[in-house]
Structure 1
Amino acid sequence: MIAQLTHSNSDIASHIYAVFQASYKIEAALIGTNNFPPLSRTPQDIASSNSLFYGFYKGDSLAGVIEITYQDNLLEIDSLTVAPEHFRKGIAGKLMEYVLNAFDFSKATVETAVVNAPSIRLYQKHDFNEFKRFTPSHGIEKVALALDLSS
């Protein structure tokens, strides 16, 4: 089941944080870094975020989270994480399909590490195309992908 999460609630923010921490630790290892900015987010950062959060539940367990911003027909996927015990069960794809169908957008964008092949494959499966590579100040080379429906 997918539901919008009331991330301003401290208990829900803590559940989101737990999924983020577990998933991002694995992504940091994949990238080969100890300095992975998403791992520095706190439950308080999540609770005070202006983003929208949607969760995929397996029973009572929060198995995956997608964080988005939506403004002026632009959908930005800010994070997409799945709890490691639920990897390779199609949860990330279901969360992607949910937000892509739930919002009326002309363009959707997402960024991930260049070496994060599983994420890039997922986005490409949903018709996202690479439009930029860059290296922010933290030093992890990133790729930006977009799904442009305006043309």
Structure 2
Amino acid sequence: MITKLKHHDERIAKQIWCVSQRSYSVEAELIGREDFPPLSRTVADIKAAKSDFYGYVESDDVAAVIEIEMTELHLEIHSLVVDPNHFRKGIADKLMCFVLSELHITSAWVETAVVNEPAIRLYRKHGFVEIERFTPPHGIKKLALLYSSS
């Protein structure tokens, strides 16, 4: 079940943090970086976030989380993480379907590491197209993808 998570609550923020840490540890290994910036995010950072968090919950277990920010009809996806214990169950796909169809948007934007092929395949499957490649100060090569419902 997909539900909006009350990330300002300490217990919920800790659950989001745990899923993020486990998922981003796998991604850090994939891209070959121990100092992967998302791993430095704290529970306090999550509690203070202005964005919204939706979780895929199975038996009171948060299996995956998508963090988004809406501006009018435009969606920015800040993160999409799946607990490694729930990999290959189609959960990321379900979260993408949810935000693209249920939130009544006309466009969406996301960025990911160039070497993160599973994420790139997921976004392309949902109609995202690459619009830019860049290297931020932390040195991890990234790409930005855009979705348009028109």
CA drift of 1:85 comes to: 0.5
Q: Which residue of 1 aligns with 2:140?
A: 140
Percent of aligned positions that are identical? 55
Q: TM-score if structure 1 supplies the norm length?
A: 0.97
CA drift of 1:105 comes to: 1.7
Q: Which residue of 1 aligns with 2:101?
A: 101
CA drift of 1:58 comes to: 1.2
Q: TM-score if structure 2 supplies the norm length?
A: 0.98
Tell me if the contact between 1:64 and 1:83 (Cα under 8 Å) persists in the aligned partners: yes
Q: Distance in 2 between matches of 1:84 and 1:36?
A: 17
Q: Distance in 1 between matches of 2:90 and 2:149?
A: 24
Q: Which amino acid in 1 is paired with 2:104?
A: D
Describe how 1:30-41 pairs up with structure 2 within 5 A. 30-41=30-41
Q: Deviations over 1:68-120 (max 9, x none)?
A: 00012110010000000000000000011111112122210100000000000
Q: Distance in 1 between matches of 2:8 and 2:54?
A: 13
> Which secondary structure state, in structure 1, belongs to the residue aligned with residue 120 of structure 2?
helix
Describe how 1:1-151 pairs up with structure 2 within 5 A. 1-150=1-150
Q: Distance in 1 between matches of 2:76 and 2:103?
A: 11
Q: Distance in 2 between matches of 1:149 and 1:134?
A: 25
Q: Deviations over 1:34-61 (max 9, x none)?
A: 1111000000000000010000011111
Aligned pair count reads 150
Q: Deviations over 1:2-58 (max 9, x none)?
A: 100000000000000000000000000000001111000000000000010000011
Q: Which amino acid in 1 is paired with 2:5?
A: L
Q: Which amino acid in 2 is paired with 1:13?
A: A
Which segments of structure 1 move beyond 3 Å, counting only runs of 4 or more? none
Q: Which amino acid in 1 is paired with 2:126?
A: H
Q: Distance in 2 between matches of 1:102 and 1:14?
A: 26
Unpaired stretches in structure 2, ≥5 consecutive residues? none
